[in-house]
Amino acid sequence: MALQSDEFEKAGERGYSLKLILTEESISVSSNTSLVSYEFYLVRTNYGFFASKVYNWNIKIGGNTIGISNFRFQISTDDPEEQLIKKGQVTVAHAYDGKKTMSFSVSTPNASDISNYAPKAMEMTGTWALTTIPRASTIYAIDANIGSSTLITISRASSSFTHTISYKFGDKSGFIATKTAKTSIPWSLTPAYDFYKRIPNAKYITVTLTCQTYSGSTLIGQTTTTFRANAPEATCKPTLKGSVGIVDETTLALTDGQAIRYISTIAATINCVAKNASTIARCTINGVEIPNPVSGKDFTIQFERAEAWHYLFEVWDSRGYYNSTYVDIDMHPYIPLTCAPQITRDEPTGDTVTVTCKGNFWNANFSASRANKLYLTVQYVEKGKSSWSTATEIPATVTDNTYRAAVKLSGLSYLNAYDFRIYAQDEAMHFTLTGTLSKGVPVFDWGEKDFRFNVPVEVMGAMKSDWCKVDAKGGWSSLSLQKNGVTMSGLTVNPDTGNLNILMYYGDSGYAERYVLNTPDKAISEDIVYYLLSTKNVQDYVVAQGSSGNWRWRKWNSGVAECWQRYAYETPAMVAVGGIFYSPENVGGLAYPFEFLAKPTELVSCDGHVGGWYAAANDLPTNTTKETGYYHFFGARSRPAGYIAMNIYEIGRWK
């Protein structure tokens, strides 16, 4: 039974038409072709026609060229009304996907030269879709974890097809099924190590599946697909163990197994194991790196004077998988012992010395039977000698976790200096501090005309100094500030003028920089603040300034001089010249408030006015050392008579 059949017809002139009947008889899956029958007719609707002439030509059906030879037109006026020109069968090849739309082109030659009843040349072209031939099946697979199964699904074009399925990952390949009729095939990704060892540094490997499609023993074609075989984190991440222990003898002797913060040495050990062909890339303990870690090997880090009670152990493998664990250790919150001593003489020329200490002290127990205890002692020796005094305990008062301690020592002559050492100890730590006590110094020394203080002194309840000297030689009242007997600075009052002199001496050179302050203005009626500016620090400053008429002026210490004013000038109406307007009269020759050393630089501008904005233009003569130059004004628009304000600025030198 034929698969399908269609009839095509096209009308021509003189009552003739062409007719083509196509029939798809069968298909060949193995050769991917269709067998097509054809019948080609000439059809009449008028009178019949017989010709003694024969014709030869070609037609095309399904890509096949078909020859027609020795054809003679013979169409009866009676039935039948058509003449068979050619019939036969052709094989038509399909595309790779089994689909095919075939074309055809049939025609008849021109016979109109024989008779008015004969047909003229005619042609008919077209296409025809053939049955799709089943081709190679499509294969699919889902991603799966190594050690589990993926599901392979086959979408086939024909239920009679069978399939051979093969796999490849890395350098490993093999077959899963051979000429199976199944369309759903589970495949176990085992042995797992075959997969793992090929991806020691990756989290998955890509597997390629190839499906060969057979129709009987004929290979129709093949398709491929890929899926991921994953190294699952749950079974592939590295494992690790962490442990901590106390290794210092001080802690072991004081406590019942607890650590002591800032005292104990804690040994932390980590052991990491890589899984499923990976390697250990990195491991840390509390962020401290283990150098060159190896799977399955113990690594230990010692934390001296440990502060942490929580120890975090971390590991990363070559695939990037991470794991961690932690261990907490019981730790006493110990506060390290500190000591801030102070050694002072009770009197500058006495022999009694007070030693005071203060600091932190952990006021708690290290164990049920071991309380923390504080012990402080002091020893001294005269400077330059070697025989130290017997240690004297410094009694202490403890408040919460701090203490204060003090002891008085006698027999330490103010004529001598002494070295001291203070020993501080609790149950966990101890240390020694050293210091020196200087000779005692009298409060003051006095001479015939001066008085020297050796201690801090307050003058009139305001000024304080560690060293000063008051003098009244030659009628000059003076106060000098000294160091090691050398005058560093001072204040003097001139008995004749009342001026105040401030002196700053350079070392012991005897030379000073002097700053003189005049006596206040007699008419002063309120407090006035002045600031001293040293010419050593100021680059330039005004030495004179004032005003003269409309001018204001300044003279600077460097020799620069400047003056300026705003000058209002009444100008007549503007006069047009070319494309601009200008004032017919000029203005200038304004005398400066002082004579410049040389011709100054002159800057002139003008303000706007009703009627537009105008610029000043220089006109001869120009400025001199005594007066300004001459100017007139111009603009883009005319204006009536009125005032224009000029801004004049001169800058030059006065010395």
Model confidence pLDDT, tens digit, residues 169-192: 999 999 999 999 999 999 999 999
Q: Which one is predicted more confidently, 383 or 442?
A: 383
Q: What number is the average pLDDT over the span 198-220?
A: 95
For 255-352, strand residue ranges (E) read 259-260, 266-273, 280-285, 288-289, 298-303, 310-317, 322-328, 331-332, 340-345
- Whole-angstrom Cα distance, residue 96 to residue 91? 16
> Is the pTM value of this prediction over 0.75?
no
Per-residue confidence (pLDDT) for residue 137, from 0 to 100: 93
Q: Who has greater pLDDT, 168 or 475?
A: 168
Task: Out of 235-244, 521-530, 572-581, pick the least confident.
Answer: 521-530
Residue 602 predicted with pLDDT over 50: yes
Cα separation, 156 vs 212, whole angstroms: 11
**Nearest to 322, CA basis, from 308, 335, 312:** 312
122-131, 212-221, 275-284, 508-517: range with lowest mean pLDDT? 508-517
At 151, the pLDDT band (50, 70, 90 cuts) reads very high
CA neighbor of 616 nearest in space, from 625, 628, 624, 627: 628
- The predicted pLDDT at position 615 comes to 55
| Average pLDDT over the chain, rounded to an integer | 88
* pLDDT above 50 (res 69): yes
pLDDT at 450 over 80: no
Residue 199 confidence class, pLDDT cut points 50, 70, 90: very high
- CA distances to 166, 183, 215, 419, 445 from 177, in Å: 7, 11, 16, 97, 117
Higher-scoring residue by pLDDT: 421, 636: 421
The answer on pLDDT for 43 being more than 60 is yes
640 — pLDDT class (breaks 50, 70, 90): confident
User: Is residue 451 pLDDT above 60, yes or no?
Assistant: no
Q: Determine the 3-state secondary structure of 432 from DSSP.
A: strand
Query: What's the full length of the chain, in residues?
Result: 655
Residue 462's pLDDT is 41
Q: Quote the pLDDT of residue 1.
A: 87
pLDDT in tens, 408-423: 999 999 999 999 999 9
Whether the pLDDT of residue 476 is over 80: the answer is no
Residue 469 pLDDT > 90: no
Q: Is the pLDDT of residue 356 over 80?
A: yes
The predicted model gives 368-393 an average pLDDT of: 95
Q: Are 407 and 393 in contact (CB under 8 A)?
A: yes
Contact between residue 187 and residue 139 where contact means Cβ atoms under 8 Å apart:
no
CA–CA gap between residue 133 and residue 218 (Å, rounded): 14
More confident residue, 574 or 461: 574
How confident is the model at residue 639, as a pLDDT? 73
Instruction: Provide the b/e sequence for 202-224 (b: ≥16 CB within 10 Å).
Output: eebbebebbbbbbbeeeebbbbe
459 pLDDT above the threshold of 60: no
pLDDT beyond 80 at 546: yes
Hey, what's the torsion of the CAs at 375, 381, 386, 391, to 10 degrees?
-20
pLDDT of residue 46: 75
Assign 460 a pLDDT band (cuts: 50, 70, 90).
Answer: very low
CA 385 to chain centre: 64
CA distance linking residue 646 with residue 608, whole number of Å = 10
Per-residue model confidence (pLDDT) at position 311: 97
Whether a cis peptide bond, with omega within 30° of 0, leads into 348 is no
Give yes or no for residue 47 having a pLDDT over 90.
no
pLDDT at 468: 52
Question: Which pLDDT value is given to residue 425?
Answer: 97
pLDDT-based confidence at residue 112 (cuts at 50, 70, 90): confident
Of 20-34, 221-235, 425-439, 604-618, least confident by mean pLDDT is 604-618
According to the model, what pLDDT value does residue 619 have? Answer: 61
Take residue 652 and report the two structure tokens written for it.
């030059």
pLDDT category at 52 given cuts 50, 70, 90 is: confident
How far, in Å, are 243, 274, 291, 311 from residue 315 at the CA level? 14, 9, 12, 13
Mean pLDDT of the region 76-86: 81
Asked if residue 258 lies in contact with residue 266, where contact means CB atoms within 8 angstroms, the answer is no
Contact yes or no for 293/301 (Cβ under 8 A): no
